[in-house]
Amino acid sequence: MAICWLNGQFVPEAQAQVSIFDRGLLFGDGVYEVAAVFGGRLLDADRHLVRLERSLAAIAIPSTHSAAEWVALMQSLVDQNGIDEGLVYLQVTRGVAERDFAFPASVTPTCFAYARKKALSGDPHAHGIALHTVADIRWARRDIKSVAMLAQVLAKQAAKAAGAYEALMHEDGVVTEGGSSTAWIVQHGTLLTRPLSHDILAGITRDVVLELAAQAGIPTVERAFTLNEVRQAEECLITSATSFVLPVTRVDGQVIADGVPGPITMRLRDAYLARAATLTARSA
């Protein structure tokens, strides 16, 4: 029986319920995080919880738990559900109140978390994925990890309908990010990704991959790039907490380079997996 955590209690998922007046449901008034589980341990939970605090502060939801408290309850979910590889999802909404747009005078945030199994080290998508390009129609604060994601729902549905694994979002031909991932290309041996701003989510995997590239002596440049540059790239890749580093071999049906995972991409994927194994290794 799958166990989740809701407002301070561990309960069977089937019994976890929230009000129809929860502002997360009514307005998408909430934020979330997803962290990977590797070797039965949370990966980079500290970095995810720093971003959670930033998202909460950006929309003035008071923080309900310390990072240590979040880590303890997330790890407990991993243990109770027997997850070796997978993820923990956690969400905080402004809470339950009469439906009125402005913040309620007094309200307690709704918090919940659940865990899921997912193959991470043996992800079949590591053989190469297809992207489908869509116009980025999201709001102007994509750095806030908001649960209001209708634009991504539509983008990823369009990708799925086109037989692609992920959407590649762009504004007038300039790439912003993947539907739920950071987008990268390799050009003249240099790894490119868009610089941080309100235009994209500050990916935790993005940060780690920039660090790993520096350690491996792979040159990196943070600048925006176009769909044309993607089509002509030596390599294209996406990153996210629960896909790590995935090679892109097709965009809108067109083959990228020679249509096989690129060497820099696979070096970074291997380095990412090695780091994950080291960080989550249990001391005997």
In three-state secondary structure terms, 251 is strand
Q: Does 203 bind ligand PMP (CB under 6 A)?
A: yes
Pick from 3, 6, 34, 196: which binds ligand PMP (CB under 6 A)? Answer: 34
Contact call for residues 73 and 87 (beta carbons, < 8 A): no
Q: Does 182 bind ligand PMP (CB under 6 A)?
A: yes
Pick from 45, 52, 192, 201: which binds ligand PMP (CB under 6 A)? Answer: 201
Q: Is 118 a catalytic residue?
A: no
Pick from 22, 136, 166, 177: which binds ligand PMP (CB under 6 A)? Answer: 177
147 vs 227, which CB is nearer to ligand PMP?
147
Q: Which of the following is catalytic: 118, 145, 156, 160?
A: 145
Ramachandran category for residue 209: left, alpha or beta (phi over 0 → left; psi -120 to 50 → alpha): alpha
Which region among 21-29, 103-111, 198-206, 267-275 touches ligand PMP (by CB under 6 A)? Answer: 198-206
Q: How far is the CB of 79 from ligand PMP (least distance, A)?
A: 23
3-state secondary structure 56-82: HHHCCCCCCCCHHHHHHHHHHHHHHCC
* Total interface residues for ligand PMP by CB under 6 A: 13
91 vs 205, which CB is nearer to ligand PMP?
205
80 vs 220, which CB is nearer to ligand PMP?
220
Contact call for residues 84 and 39 (beta carbons, < 8 A): yes
Contact call for residues 136 and 171 (beta carbons, < 8 A): yes
State whether the Cα torsion 47-48-51-53 is positive or negative.
negative
30 vs 203, which CB is nearer to ligand PMP?
203
227 vs 257, which CB is nearer to ligand PMP?
227
Contacts of 131 (CB under 8 A, 6+ apart): 159, 164, 165, 166, 167, 168, 178, 236, 238, 248, 250, 251, 252
Distance CA 179, CA 166 (A): 6
Residue type, 18: V
Pick from 42, 131, 175, 241: which binds ligand PMP (CB under 6 A)? Answer: 241
Binding to ligand PMP (CB under 6 A) within 116-175 occurs at none
Q: How far is the CB of 169 from ligand PMP (least distance, A)?
A: 8
Output phi, psi for 156, to 5 deg.
Answer: -75, -30
Q: Does 180 bind ligand PMP (CB under 6 A)?
A: yes
Binding residues vs ligand PMP (CB under 6 A): 34, 177, 180-182, 201, 203-206, 239-241
